Structure 1
Amino acid sequence: MQKFITPSLAPVLRSSPTSGRRPSPMRVLLVAWLLFGLIGSVWSFASPLMSVPDEPAHAIKAAAVARGQLWGTSSGVQGAPLTVQVPGYIADLNNHVCFAQRSNVTADCATPIDASDRGWRTGKTSAGNYNPVYYGIVGMGSRGLSGEAAIYAMRLISAWMVSFFLAAIFCAASTLRRFHRPVIAASIALTPAVFFLTGSINPNALEIATAGAVFMSLCAIFEQSAGKIPISKLLLVIAALSGTLLAHTRPLSLLWLAIAAVSAVLCYGISTLIRTLAVRGFQVALLVVALSSLFALWWVVSAKSFDSLLAGAPIPAEDAAVAMLDKTVFFMVEYVGVLGWIDTLPPPAALYTWVLGFGAMLLLAYTARPVRGRWVMALLTLTVIVVPTALQAGSSEKLGWIWQGRYTLAMVVTLILAAGVSTRFRPYRITPWTKSMVRWGLVLGALAHAYVFLEGLRRYTIGIQGHTNWTEMFEPVWQPPGTWQVLALAYILLLLVAGVGLYRVLTTPQAPYHPVEAARASQQRP
């Protein structure tokens, strides 16, 4: 059995005896968690309450679970919302979406949430029979608070929880022997859509973050195992936590968990998996995730979670399949950042930025050497294209059109991360040209993130009108908490800090190291 890495090795992991410094995994985790948590918090305040798709249903479900109601009362009709007993201001949230799917309507149309309405009332939620784990955690924000404060508290709890697993992706990537391209892939994979969902009450964001964390932490574990390096306890904890929570996020999450795990195995081979299975710490992590998954599967079946899907006009299965295949590339718009209730498209410049980024990573991965690294790309590409098509076609005659691009975003993020891992063997030399490319890439990405954020603010402060109206934002009809100007400045500053941090990581000399050898070398130094 391999032994775990000990705390005495932690300082050594920060550097290689031959290459100078490389990022400490724990430091990466903590700094990235702080940055992503603050970015998610800014989005929480910038987006009007109930301005994210299905947020009222998720908020009502969260408040109900936090009060001991794990599922609601069903009418037995497919697509009909379930009923729960919640405080009146929570039950009334469905009436605060007057701007939904009307991009020219500002957020001031919504009436204030009555914090004094705390008596028990019947609330309706389409998430009534979803797994309660996410909702139980987030719903605690509504205990002891009321009105808008309670909603913002739930948003912030969700944002910081999701941010931990987004940070875990970078933490795991930084431990790889050749970490530069996996870190670049992680930076590209976290689109504005990911952060927009992070700042909301919606398990979709946690699904995306944990799927990425499962894949990247398993890759890091397999690499250490293949190199006969003691497996980091931190990576084992990340893999166990992310896998456990991923199983409980949404009805489809068990499928995403299986695909993420298989993808990591394809990156490193069956022999590496067999070697890793002999590690006691990995066995414990695997057992925890397996037990969690069994409970999640039991919940999906016993609670009939798929019965919550809203029913629309029936569509022939073959028509739905053709339409889904036709929309495969169009869903890129939603992967980048369709804001509001799918009513505010990202600016074309921002969209093209991610088309360029995604395209570059995928092209490198599809032509990667060794060729066996391309198998994971084939699996994930088919997943992104075929699975949504099959699910939509299989349910279209009963439920009509149900699919949204964000439902696949967990696998899209995993696909881009896999592209980074698959291309890790390509030479990465720190040259003036490399540094210039990194600088311009980070500037372009930061500008695109800021542009989408400002577009969201414009949509809710003055509405998307038939004319260009950016200057009218200085006379806003609606203001978020703290004003849009302060939030925009905070967001830009956070992007600047994140960009500087990434630049330092991506221009750090890439030199492999072995923790045990590094420890011995350190002990031999005078």
Structure 2
Amino acid sequence: MSIIPGTPADQAHRTGAATGTFVGIFALLSGLMILWSLATPLMAYPDEPVHTIKAAAVVRGQILSETGKSFGHGVHVQVPSYIANLQAQTCFTFHREKTAACAPNVPMDDDYLTIGVTSAGLYNPMYYWIVGFPSLFMSGAPAIFAMRILSALISAVFYAAGLTALNRLRHPKWPIVAAAISITPMVLFLASGINPNSLEIAATMAAFCGFLVVLENSSQLKVVRPAVITVGLSMVALANTRSVSLVWLLCAVVVASLFYKWKDFTALFRNRLVLVTVGVTAVGVALGLLWNVLMLNAPPAAGEAPLGISNATGDVKPYNAFLTMLDRAFDFVTQYIGVMGWLESSLPQAVFMFWNMLLMLVLLFVFLIRRWRLQIAFLVALGMLLLVPSVMQALLVSSVGFIWQGRYSLPLFLIAVIGAGMSFRFRRFRLGRPAESMTRLFLVTAVLAHIYGFLYVLRRYVVGIPDFGNWQTMITNPGWQPPLTWEGLTLLYAAGMFVAASMLFGYLFPGSSLFPTPRFLARLTKPVQGPARPQGNA
């Protein structure tokens, strides 16, 4: 039975297909992120101790910073003792040669309330209230892993929503390829730790992708209702994550608007669904803005910036900081790809070489197009990636010093890479054996790069990375083992990556497989046909 386009049956079919796509992507990304959560030792994510303490405090009702509880190192809160003492787990940070075995066990029964100190006192409590929930009924290391997994699931929801939205574009293949490139090992790593930076990156990506689809379908928004909802939820999440997150949202809106005409943008505000969504979203955004205003009057030292290079002498002027950021712009690219831990666990150079090649190809492809509007949109996104962090660091250098890290710019990085895919999306995506062979080569290499990076990070914590090769020690004498062992996690991660590559290949080349059946097997399995029977006259 055929489905007539535009009918309720057609809309129901599209909705069902989109739901199936979302569920499949969400399940896959969740699995990969959870594996990262298990493979990474406790407190090995940037600033994870202070964010874990903040989450445990917020979920217990300690939301506002009060006078008398704010001191030079942050806010004093009442949290379970095993969480208050998590700083002891960071004995291996900044020491690449030291394994995670130096960290003491997290006691299961050490759950009486005591004083914990967090420097994230000014951060919006929404993310922490959700992530801290497992600590109410669990204890010890299982509670912290559960908090990590919950954080990973939240990020996976937004990444899956963004990728599902891209699929509703009229020419979606190149943007989806670019989105796949933008999900670097660093993106998966950060999404699996306890840090609002993970939600910030994922929600920005979802808002950008959803807004692209909404603009393209501004005259028929009823067919892309999930994209409208995605934009609304992403806006609320960004308004209630960190104060700087609204800057990423503004950048996403500006870049997405440049890909379309002004009439597409203005048409949105004549649609009832958009107006209702804006009204509901405005409440959540207003709450986020209200929190930022309240924190302007917070007690001194309620939230010092974690992990920064101090500028106590005041020698660095804002314009010097701006120029320094411009000078270091390309240095941050490695942190977009994979500098894990507390910026001391870099991926091997082979992984950087592969992703640098992909990023250069994406950059050069943009200049093969003839539509100047699309080129300008990408160049604006690229300019934002270069200039916005520089301006923000210049504004902050006098008060907190040089605190900028590559992970802070990852929202802009994802916008720029996906924006590149949007720029050349009208170029025909070639089919046929040569295109399949080339895509198969790139995908298999990408899978191997992901696996190699995952295994390399495991090696850093299992046996350390000294100045000599010690891969064999991982097998013969591992100094530390994560849950499910490093061997089990690597096999699961490899399986998940190959499933992801197969899904993407099948989407790009319908009816084809990432691993085609060899010819001799195809001949053996080919059904035998008997001689044609002569057909008589009717």
Instruction: Give yes or no for contact 1:71–1:130 (8 Å, CA) kept in 2.
Output: no
1:377 corresponding residue in structure 2: 378
Aligned to 1:308: 304
More divergent stretch after superposition (456-465 vs 411-420): 411-420
Question: Which of 38, 41, 50 is the matching residue for 2:43?
Answer: 50
- 1:502-517 → structure 2 map (5 Å cutoff): 502-508=504-510
State yes or no: 1:296 paired with 2:288.
Answer: yes
1:331-384 CA distances to partner (integer Å, 9 max, x unpaired)? Answer: 011000111111011111111111111111122224433211123222222221
SS in 2 for 1:402: coil
Spell out, residue by residue over 1:46-102, the C-alpha distance to the aligned partner (whole angstroms, 9 max, x if none).
000100010011111111111111134466989731111111111111221111111
Structure 1 residue 252 corresponds to structure 2 residue 248: no
The runs of 5 or more residues in structure 1 that have no matched partner are 15-22, 510-526
CA contact (8 A) 1:75 1:82 kept: no
The equivalent residue for 1:431 is: 432
**Which amino acid letter does the alignment assign opposite residue 176 of structure 1?**
L
Residue 96 (structure 2) aligns with: 103
CA distance in 1, matches of 2:69, 2:76: 12
Q: Cα deviations across residues 228-252 of structure 1 (Å, max 9, x unaligned)?
A: 4643222122121122112212221
Aligned position for 1:158: 151
> Counterpart of 1:522?
none
Amino acid at match of 1:316: V
Paired amino acid for 1:339: M
Alignment of 1:236-251 (within 5 A): 236-251=228-243
1:242 and 1:6 map into 2 onto residues whose CA distance is 29
Counterpart for residue 494 of structure 1: 496
Aligned positions of 1:10-159 closer than 5 A: 10=11, 12-13=13-14, 24-73=17-66, 80-159=73-152
Instruction: Name the SS for the 2:340 alignment partner.
Output: coil
Q: Is the 8 A contact 1:446 1:496 kept in 2?
A: yes
- Within 2, Cα distance between the matches of 1:120 and 1:80? 20
Deviation at 1:212, TM superposition (A): 0.6
For residue 346 of structure 2, give the secondary structure of its aligned residue in structure 1. coil
Cα deviation 1:445-488 (Å, max 9, x = unaligned): 11111111111100000001110111111121000011000000
Distance in 1 separating the partners of 2:207 and 2:18: 16
Query: Structure 2: where are the runs of 5+ without partners?
Result: 1-5, 512-538
Paired residue type of 1:386: L
SS in 2 for 1:480: coil
Task: Give the distance between the partners of 1:186 and 1:266, measured in 2 at CA.
Answer: 18
Q: Secondary structure at the match of 1:71?
A: coil
Aligned length: 496
Task: Spell out the pairing of 1:189-200 with structure 2 (5 A cutoff).
Answer: 189-200=182-193
Letter in 1 for 2:52: A
2:362 is aligned to 361
C-alpha contact 1:460 1:478 (8 A) present in aligned 2: yes
Q: TM-score, normalised by structure 1?
A: 0.90
Match of 2:422 in 1: 421
Alignment of 1:402 onto 2:403: yes
| Identity across matched positions, percent | 36
Contact 1:369–1:423 (8 Å) recurs in 2: no
The residue correspondences of 1:266-305 to structure 2 (distance < 5 A) are 266-304=258-296
Shift of 1:36: 0.4
In 2, distance between residues paired with 1:156 and 1:426? 39
Q: Is the 8 A contact 2:119 2:303 kept in 1?
A: no
- 1:482 corresponds to which of 477, 481, 484: 484
Q: Which amino acid aligns with 2:364?
A: L
- The verdict on how the C-alpha distance between 1:323 and 1:234 changes in structure 2, with shifts beyond 3 A counting, is same
What is the rounded CA distance, in whole Å, between the counterparts of 1:485 and 1:54 in structure 2?
A: 27
- TM-score in terms of structure 2 length: 0.88
Give the drift of 1:254. 0.8
1:290 and 1:363 map into 2 onto residues whose CA distance is 39
| SS of aligned partner of 1:438 | helix
RMSD between aligned residues: 2.0
Could you tell me how far 1:506 is from its partner in structure 2? 1.2
> Cα 1:229–1:204, aligned 2, differ >3 Å: closer, same or farther?
closer
Partner Cα separation in structure 1 for residue 291 and residue 241 of structure 2? 11
Give, as a single letter, the amino acid of the residue that structure 1 aligns with 2:177. Answer: I
- Rg larger in structure: 2
Contact persistence 1:83–1:123 (CA under 8 A): yes
Greater mean alpha carbon deviation, residues 37-46 or residues 71-80: 71-80
Q: 2: CA distance between counterparts of 1:73 and 1:457?
A: 41
Partner of 1:262: 254
Residues 471-515 of structure 1 show CA distances to partners (whole Å, capped at 9, x for unaligned) of: 111121000011000000000000010000000111149xxxxxx
Task: Output the amino acid matched with 1:273.
Answer: F
* Alpha-carbon distance between aligned partners in 2 of 1:186 and 1:33, rounded to the nearest angstrom: 15
Which residue identity does 2:503 align to in structure 1?
G
